[in-house]
A = this chain, B = another copy of it.
Amino acid sequence: MNKLARIFPVFDWGRGYGRTALSNDLVAAAIVTIMLIPQSLAYAMLAGLPPEVGLYASILPIIAYALFGTSRTMAVGPVAVISLMTFSAVSRIAPVGSPEFLQAALVLALLSGLLQVLMGVLRLGFLANLLSHPVVSGFVTASSLIIATSQLKSILGVTASGSTLPELLRTLLPNLVHTNLPTVAIGVTATAFLFWVRKGLEPVLVKLGLAPRPAEMIAKAGPIAAIALSTLAVVGLGLEDRGVKVVGLIPNSLPPLTLPIFDAGLWSQLLVPALLLSVIGFVESVSVAQTLAARKRQRIRPDQELIGLGTANLASAFSGGYPVTGGFARSIVNFDAGAETPAAGAYTAIGILVSVLFLTPLLESLPVATLAATIIVAILRLVDLKKVIETWRYSRADFAAMTATILVTLLAGVESGVIAGVGLSLALFLWRASRPHAAIVGRVPETEHFRNVKRHKVFTDPRVLTIRIDESLTYLNARWLEEFVLEEVADHPELKHLILMCSAVNTIDASALESLEAINHRLADSGAKLHLSEVKGPVMDALERSHFLEELTGEVWLSQNAAFDAIIALAEREEEAKKPADLWMARGLI
């Protein structure tokens, strides 16, 4: 792949873009456009922004990603979790609905964009590793619960606010008395309908003789039906006068050219949220991209993905949008609809642009309750409690990190949740890394195998102790190594030779090297020798660059078995050598 194509993947897939690709991309674009319009409106309102902002965020960002992203079929735009994070970050700074709120959302998009591009250029994509799978899935589950709860207000036609579960419930419950029945009717019907469409419609269509693929596509278009029907109901029955909230007039204009303001105070307030948002967005998006790419044996370059998402966010910031990332649902739809290249994204952008210009009047009387229903139906899929149980069964440490993330996110908000999860995972990782597994081993009779003395009946010798270390030796466990070895030495008064079996040691860093030197000297002080066995090639190369091998009182052995035999023999010779002296002592001659 040439240099230009590395930076602008478009030069990679653009060459040889033919008619079939074109038609496939156009079909996919049409389907995704239909799906994106209601989603974009809904997520914008979830973020506390006017509906058109969601549409704007689905135009230029898609084109920016099409130019710089490495995924052929990913569709970027507003997504639920990022919208929630936007709301929680911005609502702390400006009152919902105020121009400052809009400004802050633009700045947030700008900062996330800058951070993502920067991380991509500096090849810092690996920092996303700090978000372990349990933390991410816990975070998504908790956010989804918060989002679903936050939409109840629109289903019930009451007011409520907040970005944590307690806030939401505290503000929601007192208002239940003002529940608006027509709104509830629409909201509940829409929700029920959408759930049925997702689960029940496709099989019915297939039974009616439709091929699975088109049946699936029609089912995907379900939200459109819900929107059309509920809008007609509102207009026909004049429900607006009966207190049913509607989307209202959406300006049918091109996306505005917006310049995020530079205000040091505002920027510093939004920096941490922007960082968390960029990383979460990146992690979500890259995993989708990889899933899709793998199906066609295509490649994703995570650092280039950061640049793609970053430019998408910058584009959003300068065209009246708010933070975006690669969406799971829409990308799957795009892929299933047969999109072949990022061009499909460009066509989608055009599709949405056209709708903004000519179709928005149709959405004026669209009830907010219907949008809330589409959000709830979409988001509840992301609540994954089964995963919590599986994690509990698989690993307690991962379970701890996961539950911490869920609880802190629900109770204290999305940012605290992410930070708590990352912090705890890291602490647990460092704790485990500082206490690796090691075993005293002995030889299984009639074999050359050495096994844990606690688990197997093995042959050992009081003068020779073999410790197998099952981890690389780094500064995190160097101190443990000294303590562990010296405790064992203190427990074995007859000890004359200690063998460290290094078959699972992949690296020894400078701290661990010093600990080995210390162990070597301390053993010497107490009259014992240190040996190493089964040292790997690269580790040996490193040791040869140090003075350790010169100072080592014992030797380095290729095979543990050979070492064990030779050293026992050596220990016996040493004792023989001492014997006569003991004899004379016994005779009182010394």
Contact of A299 among B480, B487, B509, B547 (CB under 8 A): B487
List residues of chain B with CB within 8 A of the CB of A483.
Answer: 290, 300, 302
Whole-angstrom distance from the CB of A345 to the nearest CB of chain B?
Answer: 22
Stretch of A107-115, A184-192, A467-475, A550-558 lying at the B interface: A467-475
Determine if B511 and A429 form an interchain contact, defined as CB atoms under 8 angstroms apart: no
Chain A contacts with B in 390-407, Cβ cutoff 8 A: 390-391, 393-395, 397-398
Determine if A475 and B133 form an interchain contact, defined as CB atoms under 8 angstroms apart: yes
**A489 interface hit (Cβ, 8 Å):** yes
List residues of chain B with CB within 8 A of the CB of A395.
Answer: 509-510, 542
**A435 interface hit (Cβ, 8 Å):** yes
List residues of chain B with CB within 8 A of the CB of A261.
Answer: none
Range, interface on chain A: 35 or more
**A167 interface hit (Cβ, 8 Å):** no
Please, how many angstroms separate the alpha-carbon atoms of A393 and B510 in the complex?
10
Determine if B522 and A295 form an interchain contact, defined as CB atoms under 8 angstroms apart: yes
List residues of chain B with CB within 8 A of the CB of A434.
Answer: 126, 129
**A178 interface hit (Cβ, 8 Å):** no
**A23 interface hit (Cβ, 8 Å):** no
Whole-angstrom distance from the CB of A353 to the nearest CB of chain B?
Answer: 34
Whole-angstrom distance from the CB of A558 to the nearest CB of chain B?
Answer: 13
Known: A290-B486, A506-B471, A545-B393. A526 touches B295 (CB 8 A): yes
Determine if A430 and B542 form an interchain contact, defined as CB atoms under 8 angstroms apart: no
Please, how many angstroms separate the alpha-carbon atoms of A294 and B517 in the complex?
13
Determine if B474 and A471 form an interchain contact, defined as CB atoms under 8 angstroms apart: no
Determine if B542 and A394 form an interchain contact, defined as CB atoms under 8 angstroms apart: yes
List residues of chain B with CB within 8 A of the CB of A546.
Answer: 390, 393-394
Determine if A398 and B504 form an interchain contact, defined as CB atoms under 8 angstroms apart: no
* Assembly stoichiometry (copies): 2
List residues of chain B with CB within 8 A of the CB of A479.
Answer: 126, 128-129, 286, 302
Closest residue to A515 on the B side, CB-wise? B133
List residues of chain B with CB within 8 A of the CB of A425.
Answer: 475
Closest residue to A283 on the B side, CB-wise? B479
Whole-angstrom distance from the CB of A335 to the nearest CB of chain B?
Answer: 12
Bitwise, A426-443 to B at CB < 8 A (1) or not (0) is 000111101111000000
Please, how many angstroms separate the alpha-carbon atoms of A475 and B434 in the complex?
16
Known: A126-B431, A133-B478, A435-B126. A394 touches B525 (CB 8 A): no
Chain A contacts with B in 523-566, Cβ cutoff 8 A: 525-526, 536, 538, 542, 545-547
Please indicate which of the listed interface residues A472, A487, A518 has the most CB atoms of chain B within 10 Å of its own CB: A472
Please, how many angstroms separate the alpha-carbon atoms of A198 and B570 in the complex?
41
Determine if A130 and B510 form an interchain contact, defined as CB atoms under 8 angstroms apart: no
Contact of A525 among B295, B393, B490, B518 (CB under 8 A): B295
Known: A132-B510, A437-B506. A390 touches B542 (CB 8 A): no
Contact of A429 among B436, B474, B515 (CB under 8 A): B474
List residues of chain B with CB within 8 A of the CB of A542.
Answer: 394-395
**A240 interface hit (Cβ, 8 Å):** no
Contact of A391 among B294, B507, B510 (CB under 8 A): B510
Determine if B522 and A291 form an interchain contact, defined as CB atoms under 8 angstroms apart: yes
Whole-angstrom distance from the CB of A489 to the nearest CB of chain B?
Answer: 7
Please, how many angstroms separate the alpha-carbon atoms of A542 and B290 in the complex?
26
Bitwise, A483-527 to B at CB < 8 A (1) or not (0) is 100110110010000000000101101110111001000100110
Question: When A and B form their complex, which 4 residue pairs have the shortest distance between CB atoms, in order from nearest?
Answer: A132-B475, A294-B522, A398-B510, A133-B511
A–B Cβ pairs within 8 angstroms, 23 of them: A129-B479, A130-B430, A130-B476, A132-B478, A132-B509, A132-B511, A286-B479, A290-B482, A290-B486, A295-B525, A297-B489, A302-B479, A394-B513, A394-B545, A398-B510, A398-B511, A429-B474, A429-B475, A429-B476, A436-B506, A437-B538, A470-B536, A504-B504
Known: A126-B430, A470-B506. 18 other contacts (CB 8 A): A129-B430, A133-B475, A133-B510, A133-B514, A134-B475, A290-B518, A293-B486, A294-B486, A294-B522, A295-B526, A298-B490, A299-B487, A302-B479, A394-B510, A397-B509, A398-B511, A429-B476, A471-B506
